[in-house]
């Protein structure tokens, strides 16, 4: 059973950013905006294996995501959960799908040949919301 409140489920389909917070190597928070996708069970986002966020998740799988309604900045959904999978994306299928959704581009334009992409899957365990 999903912990996502029906009143804010629309934000999971919105074309907006999610601010993802992870825990750094010294216990400090690290927050970055990401494109995301809701698959009906997990919040998913792309990451490269060279990024600090990826290293943080390898040490500590707990995360928080905050999604602000793009039409009302006083309405938001915060999701806390655990990374349950980090799947390779060697064909860039996920990030290309996100480029289509967010930019109207068929392929992610900033891919570098040395980038190794993964899809991070977060299982929501708790939410808070406003608006």
pLDDT tens for residues 6-42? 999 999 999 999 999 999 999 999 999 999 999 999 9
Provide the pLDDT for residue 1. 64
Q: Out of 3.40.640.10, 3.30.70.360, 2.60.40.10, 2.30.110.10, select the CATH number for domain 6-130.
A: 2.30.110.10
User: What are the residue ranges spanned by the domains of the chain?
Assistant: 6-130
* pTM of the predicted structure, to 2 decimals: 0.95
Please state the rounded mean pLDDT for residues 80-99: 98
58 bridge partner residues: none
The string of pLDDT tens digits covering residues 39-57 is: 999 999 999 999 999 999 9
Positive or negative, the CA dihedral 112, 113, 119, 120 is: negative
Model confidence at 2, pLDDT cuts 50, 70, 90, reads confident
Partners of 122 in beta bridges: 43, 83
Report, as an integer, the average pLDDT of 72-96.
97
């Amino acid at each position: 059973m999903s912990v996502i409140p029906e009143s804010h489920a629309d934000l999971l389909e919105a074309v907006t950013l999610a601010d993802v917070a992870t825990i750094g190597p010294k216990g400090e928070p690290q927050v970055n905006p990401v494109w995301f996708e809701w698959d009906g069970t997990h919040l998913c986002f792309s990451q490269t294996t060279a990024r600090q966020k990826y290293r943080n998740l390898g040490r500590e799988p707990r995360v928080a995501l905050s999604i602000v309604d793009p039409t009302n900045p006083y309405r938001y959904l915060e999701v806390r959960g655990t990374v349950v999978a980090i799947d390779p994306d060697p064909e860039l299928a996920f990030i290309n799908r996100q480029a289509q959704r967010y930019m109207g581009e068929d392929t992610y334009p900033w891919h570098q040949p040395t980038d190794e992409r993964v899809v991070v899957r977060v299982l929501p365990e708790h939410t808070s919301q406003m608006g």
